[in-house]
Amino acid sequence: MSMLKEKLASLIPAQRERIKNLVKNFGEKIISEISLGQMLGGLRGVKSLLCDTSEVVIDQGLIIRGYPIADLAGKLPEEIFWLLLTGELPNIQELEDLQSELKKRSKVPQYLWSTLKTCLIKDDPHPMTILISCIAILERESKFYYHYTRGMKKEEYWEYALEDALDLIAMLPSLAAGIYRLRYDKGHLINSSHDLDWAGNLAHMMGVEGNQENFANMMRLYMVLHSDHEGGNVSARTCHVIGSALSDPYYAVLGGLAGLAGPLHGLANQEGVRFVLDVLEKFKGVPNDKDLKKFVTDILEGGRVIPGYGHAVLRVTDPRFTAFYNYGKKVMPDNPQFQVVEKLFKIVPKVLTEMGKAKNPWPNVDASSGVLLYHYGITEFDYYTLLFGVSRTLGLTAQLILDRAMGFPITRPKSVTIDWLVSAVQE
């Protein structure tokens, strides 16, 4: 048994007991309520989900199991996966055990590569479409499905959710790098290296030219910062809902990733870079403050959004933005794309505040992440959301495993009609 599975097996019974007691002793207690505005406004702020992996605090940003995300910036994604699941960072032995577990499971089946080469990359679909299709094809590998259809006990659900999660996470670097190389004609596929960690291997297999070690370090940071963002965002919630039907983790994750592919969610990182490049193109270089302010104002007055700014929960600068920003300041201060990011950070919050529409004028993670990838030569910016998705799979699967461990039932809120709503407010 892997050390992670052993650790979880030792932690889960007490947590199950806590949930059981909460329901038994306080099942009828009202803990949250909802206004009509919230119901019709995307359920903002409604406390209706349980997610132990992480929380987003309105004035602090992402906290993973008590650690502010900025404090985790030097960690490896594997350590974060362990932390998300267990609430503790792994020791060296535990980390190595998880890494060797992932290496054992990392081979992508040949049939996937054949399908990918012969049909999935035809006609240049968006990389997210390819990734989601690959995960759908790999669904036949699901151990959760296999054991469920042969009579798995409810107490064992989490174990096979973990099995699927480890398999999927292990294959993602090869898959993501393979998609990159095939989709953008980068030449032959590159084999993984036994000596590299999970994100280091992804960087290696992408085969980006230039300083490999710096790129690998940036990729480690990228994978850590995007790993989770509590339970209420579109991708996490979608994944949770699908998983609650006991659809296996492959189905649940691909559903979550389809949500991540939306421009108001994960796609904003590609839009962020497109925006920066548009600015450089329009002004033939980095504009002065006055010109940039007018440019931004015109866009807002035209009813368009500034990608990478605003957030449904946060009301401060996203600390993940700051982590990437600080990295950029150190590694690429003279890069014109990064300089536009700096200028936008100076200008956009002021303009959004003056306009008074956005509740949060500050940048989110997508305002700074893309230009770092661009700097390392990944100029195909429709690929960026895929990298976000690879990282976010850590959080999605961690949440799923804990959902199954806690034995949560199928999710089924009640919907009402407009007539019902009208009569409810007239009473």
The reply to whether 240 sits near ligand AMX by the rule CB under 6 A is no
Taking CB under 6 A as the criterion, the residue among 165, 202, 358, 390 binding ligand AMX is 358
Q: How far is the CB of 320 from ligand AMX (least distance, A)?
A: 9
- Window 312-341: residues binding ligand AMX (CB under 6 A): 312
- Residue 324 contacts by C-beta under 8 Å, 6 or more apart in sequence? 221, 225, 365, 368, 369, 372
- Window 84-143: residues binding ligand AMX (CB under 6 A): none
Catalytic residue among 265, 318, 375, 403: 265
State which residue, 145 or 381, has the beta carbon closest to ligand AMX.
Answer: 381
The answer to whether the CB of 134 falls within 8 A of the CB of 187 is no
The reply to whether 310 sits near ligand AMX by the rule CB under 6 A is yes
Q: How far is the CB of 233 from ligand AMX (least distance, A)?
A: 6
61-64 sheet: strands from edge to edge: 54-57, 61-64, 67-68
State which residue, 171 or 253, has the beta carbon closest to ligand AMX.
Answer: 253
Using the rule CB under 6 A, give the single segment among 25-33, 263-271, 324-332, 400-408 that binds ligand AMX. 263-271
Examine the residue annotation and report whether 311 is marked as an active-site residue of this protein. yes
The answer to whether the CB of 132 falls within 8 A of the CB of 264 is no
Reduced DSSP (H G I as helix, E B as strand, rest coil) percent helix, strand, coil of the chain, to 5: 65, 5, 35
Using the rule CB under 6 A, give the single segment among 137-145, 203-211, 244-252, 299-307 that binds ligand AMX. 299-307
Using the rule CB under 6 A, give the single segment among 29-37, 327-335, 358-366, 392-400 that binds ligand AMX. 358-366
Taking CB under 6 A as the criterion, the residue among 174, 364, 393, 397 binding ligand AMX is 364
Sign of CA dihedral 18, 20, 23, 26: negative
87 three-class SS: coil
Count of positions on this chain that bind ligand AMX (CB under 6 A):
20
Structure tokens at 156: 């064992």
- Please give the full DSSP string across 97-151, using - where no structure is assigned: HHHHHHHHT-PPPHHHHHHIIIIITTT---HHHHHHHHHHHHGGG-HHHHHHTTT
Examine the residue annotation and report whether 265 is marked as an active-site residue of this protein. yes
- Please give the full DSSP string across 261-296, using - where no structure is assigned: TSTTTTTHHHHHHHHHHHHHHHHTSPPPHHHHHHHH
Using the rule CB under 6 A, give the single segment among 62-70, 115-123, 197-205, 364-372 that binds ligand AMX. 364-372
Q: How far is the CB of 38 from ligand AMX (least distance, A)?
A: 12
- Residue 349 contacts by C-beta under 8 Å, 6 or more apart in sequence? 309, 361, 362, 363
State which residue, 255 or 266, has the beta carbon closest to ligand AMX.
Answer: 266
State which residue, 86 or 385, has the beta carbon closest to ligand AMX.
Answer: 385
The answer to whether the CB of 293 falls within 8 A of the CB of 347 is yes
Taking CB under 6 A as the criterion, the residue among 97, 164, 230, 366 binding ligand AMX is 366
> Can you give the C-alpha Rg of the chain in angstroms?
22
Q: How far is the CB of 307 from ligand AMX (least distance, A)?
A: 5
The reply to whether 368 sits near ligand AMX by the rule CB under 6 A is no
State which residue, 196 or 312, has the beta carbon closest to ligand AMX.
Answer: 312
First to last CA, the chain: 59
Q: How far is the CB of 66 from ligand AMX (least distance, A)?
A: 23
Using the rule CB under 6 A, give the single segment among 1-9, 76-84, 247-255, 260-268 that binds ligand AMX. 260-268
- Window 30-69: residues binding ligand AMX (CB under 6 A): none
For residue 61, give the H/E element and its range.
strand 61-64
Taking CB under 6 A as the criterion, the residue among 86, 142, 201, 360 binding ligand AMX is 360
Catalytic residue among 204, 226, 240, 311: 311
The answer to whether the CB of 318 falls within 8 A of the CB of 364 is yes
CA distance 350 to 10: 50
The answer to whether the CB of 161 falls within 8 A of the CB of 144 is yes
State which residue, 68 or 407, has the beta carbon closest to ligand AMX.
Answer: 68
Q: What letter would DSSP give residue 230?
A: -
Q: Torsion-angle region of residue 304: left (phi > 0), alpha (psi -120 to 50) or beta?
A: beta
Taking CB under 6 A as the criterion, the residue among 175, 219, 258, 306 binding ligand AMX is 306
68 three-class SS: strand
Q: How far is the CB of 16 from ligand AMX (least distance, A)?
A: 31
Examine the residue annotation and report whether 188 is marked as an active-site residue of this protein. no
Q: How far is the CB of 41 from ligand AMX (least distance, A)?
A: 8
Q: Which residues bind ligand AMX (CB under 6 A)?
A: 264-266, 268, 300, 305-312, 357-360, 364-366
Which residues are part of the catalytic machinery?
A: 265, 311, 366
